[in-house]
Structure 1
Amino acid sequence: MEGDTLHSIGELARRTGLTVKTIRFYSDRGIVTPTDRSPAGYRLYSTDAVARLGLVRTLRELGLDLPTIRRVVDRELSLPEVAAAHAEALAVQIRVLRLRRAVLTAVAERGSTPEETELMHRLAQLSEDERRRLIGDFLDAVFGGLDAAPAFAAAMRSMTPELPDNPEAEQVRAWVELAELSQDPDFRAGVRRLAEDHAAEQAGSGTVGPRRDLAAIVHDQVAPALAAGIDPVAPHAEPIVAVLTAHYAHLLGRPDDTGLRHQLATRLENMNDPRRERYGRLLAVVNGWPAPESLAPEFDWSVRALRARAE
């Protein structure tokens, strides 16, 4: 019967696809032990060794170390338990490799200096708690000390990136750039000014309850004008400017005059900071949100219309 047949190392090599040297190595390590010896002293193996070597080969290809493999084939360890632990370890390795790939891709795309590369690598490797502290510091710098109104709490939530446990390379690259941007002192100061302006508008109007966002008003009024090709300095733009200034005058609780138009133009210029829009786009990538619509054309049109009428 085949079960009683003994095989030489050469026969095992032909049947398993492993080299003689590899089988001898496994035999010396006690993973596949010979059943007997030939009269000439050569090692002989039972047919069970073929199946055993097949399992060993599979586990090695999956990355298990030899001591663990020996305990599995000797049934000292449960294969499902070993597989689960190894799968978890591989998940960690995959995440690390994704982070490295994302950093290297970003370096290649941006032509980063060694110092920038080191910073990107450090930011990519931050733990979840470290990421939260970094963004928390940014949000504290922007909103700290302002009125704790629901609008500010909602704004902080809407500006918080949540990198998933198994991010795509694009999400990692977006997180690194977003983290860098959040540490830019000039960007922080600009967003802080926007938050302070918003707080002043809330205090000035004295209105209770929700109010329409200034950006939404600009979009609703100016988008049709852009689509119609209305020049911001032309007379046809005056009714649109009147709506914008009336809304802003109500927010501040003051009359519509030249000073208010200058102030509103400056406010919209600050809102039109390209870095602010970039932050929003990066945030959408990290969080898996739809890309936000750009309001840069509407802001540009509004500022030109306001400046022309404030002179």
Structure 2
Amino acid sequence: MNIGELSRLTGLPVKTIRYYSDVGLVPEAERSQAGYRRYDHGSIVRLEFVRTLRELGLDLATIRQVLDRGADLREVAAAHASALGIQIRVLRLRRAALRAVAGRDSSPADLERLARIAQASADERRRIIDEFFDSIFAGVNETAESQEFAAGMRSVSADLPDEPTDAQVDAWIELAEMLRAPDFRARLREMGRRSFAPGARRIVPTGPADLKWFIDLVAEAQDRGSPAPAAVVDEVMRRWSAAAGRPDDADLRREVAEAIELSIEPRAERYWQLMAVINGWPPIPSTMHRWAWFLSALRATPSR
């Protein structure tokens, strides 16, 4: 067949086929007496193979190695798949940065910063989080309890997988931006100072079992629209006063209210929710509205 017939059979332009012939990727089977290129069935097979490899992104030099130099197609495909994986990851990260910019009133500087955040390496992500903790734990009394708490917080890293989902990349960008907020850092420093200052007393139990019991009790009352929130407050304070070894009086209730008011920081909860997304943990439900409900009920309920 001539080059025009080959073009019609394959759907490739004559110009492209001629170029592939000139560079030796799809040489003609022979030339006619008039010097025109002639192709056979093997030319169709070779041309289709070249087109497939080109559509997969292989460059012409690599395709020639596969065709003429016996390069292992499996090895070439694996190497190219790896390279494409890197490109896909970078594009996904760039897209996440653009989405973040599109969702707010941003400047070119914001776009540059968010792009750097999105494409941060594992070490860079760790440095961002370490710097955040260095800031909020600065000046906190160095007791054994505070050091243990800080070590536990620092042990949780933002480990994006090699192929993160869009949700994971979005979560990392939101987290990194949140950690930069000066008021958020100041709020956490104050929470740490009150919790670990010399002579500080832990009024509100924070163990998993205690928290689950508290949230379950408040959720039941809040969700059913309890007409008697005072009964919930009295039950909670009965347990907490016993744990603190103090009477359930006006002073204790005032201190509990102050501690809860300080701890109602949605961004602190959001921190763990974003970490869950980034690290592929089960979702962490919000409980801030439970604490706010209890605080309101506590302030409205006098001590017995």
| TM-score for the superposition, normalised by structure 1 | 0.81
Q: Deviations over 1:38-97 (max 9, x none)?
A: 221212334422221111111111111111111211134221111111101110111112
Paired AA for residue 195 in structure 1? G
CA contact (8 A) 2:233 2:298 kept: no
**Alignment partner, residue 182 of structure 1:** 179
Give the alignment of 1:119-158 within 5 angstroms: 119-143=113-137, 145=142, 147=144, 150-158=148-156
What's the counterpart of residue 3 of structure 1?
none
For 2:255, give the aligned amino acid: Q
- Does residue 171 (structure 1) correspond to residue 168 (structure 2)? The answer is yes
Work out whether residues 230 and 301 of structure 2, in 8 Å CA contact, stay in contact via their aligned partners in 1: no
The alpha-carbon distance between structure 1 residues 278 and 110, as it changes in their structure 2 partners (threshold 3 A), is farther
Who is 1:16 aligned against? 10
Q: Structure 1: how far apart are the matches of 2:39 and 2:196?
A: 83
* 2:159 aligned residue: 162
Q: Runs (4+) of structure 1 moved beyond 6 Å?
A: none
Paired residues of 1:259 and 1:310 also in contact (CA < 8 A)? no
Distance 1:173 1:303 in 2: 33
Mapped partners of 2:32, 2:224: distance in 1? 96
Task: Give the AA of the match of 1:229.
Answer: G
Equivalent-residue separation in structure 2 for 1:281 and 1:256 (angstroms): 34
Aligned counterparts of 1:202 and 1:65: Cα–Cα separation in 2: 70
Q: Residue 289 of structure 1 corresponds to which residue in structure 2?
A: 281
Query: In the superposition, relative to structure 1, how do residues 246 and 31 fare at CA in structure 2: closer, same or farther (>3 Å)?
Result: same
Q: Secondary structure at the match of 1:165?
A: coil
Unpaired runs of at least 5, structure 1: 1-6
What stretches of structure 2 of length at least 5 have no aligned partner? none
Q: CA separation in 1, counterparts of 2:41 and 2:124?
A: 55
The alignment yields a C-alpha RMSD, in angstroms, of 3.1
Equivalent position of 2:192 in the other structure: 195
Distance 1:30 1:45, change over 3 A: same
Q: Is the 8 A contact 1:142 1:191 kept in 2?
A: yes
Q: TM-score, normalised by structure 2?
A: 0.83
Give the length in aligned residue pairs.
296
Partner of 1:277: 269
Q: Indicate the percent of aligned positions where both proteins have the same amino acid.
A: 47
Are the aligned partners of 1:230 and 1:236 in contact in 2 as well (CA < 8 Å)? no
2:90 matches 1:93: no
In the superposition, relative to structure 1, how do residues 285 and 100 fare at CA in structure 2: closer, same or farther (>3 Å)? same
Q: Which residue of structure 1 aligns with residue 109 of structure 2?
A: 115
Deviation at 1:187, TM superposition (A): 1.2
| Structure 2 CA distance for aligned equivalents of residues 137 and 22 of structure 1 | 55
Q: 2:235 aligns with which of 236, 240, 244?
A: 240
Structure 1 residues 163-172 or 41-50, which shifts more?
41-50
Deviates more, 1:16-25 or 1:256-265: 256-265
